[in-house]
Amino acid sequence: MPENPTPAPAPAADPANPPAPTGPPQDNPPAPAAPPQNPPAPVEGDVSTLPEWAQTMIKEAQEKAPAAEQPAPPAPEPPAAEGDLSRLPKWAQQQISTAQEQARTAAVHAAVLRVAPTAGANAAALLDSQSAMTALAAVDTNDQTAVAAAITAAVQAQPHLAAAVGPARGGADFGSATPPERTPGSLHDAIAARLGA
């Protein structure tokens, strides 16, 4: 075989499989290439991370817009206080106010029933009197002396609200001295009574 005067072309370098070194071994091998570092994540509002043309556009826009015209951010709403009924829907507010009125009325009725006998008033008559109940609605029902004073004032203004003195009347009247006239039960009794027999 004849010898080829042209040298064979060098095989293409495969990046996945680098060629083995052909020279003598070195004492200090080259350091492996450091992995590329990711640039830091851009911070929101940081203009310096934008391209130069974008930075100049932003600076020009900021110079044109006066700082005084920029609207102030809205103030955060303060947290609602516990028990703030104004944040509830209307129907819920109405139900709560109705329930509070009913509870107040029940408390006034209970105070009247509890204090009226000791204040010398008729409890049933007080509960039926609109003027007395209006006066008692303004009084603290937990303060028995204030309730008693309001009941006493209502009794003085309207004497028919006073409790009856003495035992209640009942039964037949036994105070009459003359006996009632007797009616005969039959015709025979009527004739006998008339003839005196």
Q: Which value, in Å, is the radius of gyration of the alpha carbons in the chain?
A: 55
CA 51 to chain centre: 53
pLDDT tens column, 58-90: 888 777 766 545 556 666 665 556 777 788 888
Q: What is the mean pLDDT of the chain?
A: 75
For 94, which DSSP code?
A: H
Instruction: Report pLDDT for 68.
Output: 46
CA distance 114 to 127: 12
Q: What does the pLDDT average to over 88-107? A: 90
Q: Is the pLDDT of residue 141 over 70?
A: yes
Percentage of the chain lying above the pLDDT 90 cut: 12
* Model pLDDT, residue 86: 81
- pLDDT tens digits, residue range 22-49? 555 555 555 555 555 665 665 666 777 7
Check residue 27 and give its pLDDT. Answer: 57
**What was the pLDDT predicted at 43?**
62
Q: Which residue has better confidence, 24 or 149?
A: 149
pTM: predicted TM-score of the whole model, two decimal places = 0.43
Residue 22 or 141, more confident: 141
In the three-class reduction of DSSP (H, G, I as helix; E, B as strand; rest coil), residue 121 is classed as: strand
Residue 142 has pLDDT above 80, yes or no: yes
138 pLDDT exceeds 80? yes
What three-state secondary structure class fits 24? coil
CA 126 to CA 142: how far, in whole Å? Answer: 18
Most confident range, picked from 3-7, 26-30, 41-45, 126-130:
126-130
Average pLDDT over residues 132-146: 89
pLDDT in the model for residue 57: 79
- pLDDT tens digit string along 150-181? 999 999 998 888 887 766 666 776 666 676 67
Q: d(Cα 194, Cα 82) in Å, to the nearest integer? A: 92
Dihedrals φ, ψ of 33, to 5°? -65, 135
- Of 2-6, 83-87, 132-136, highest mean pLDDT: 132-136
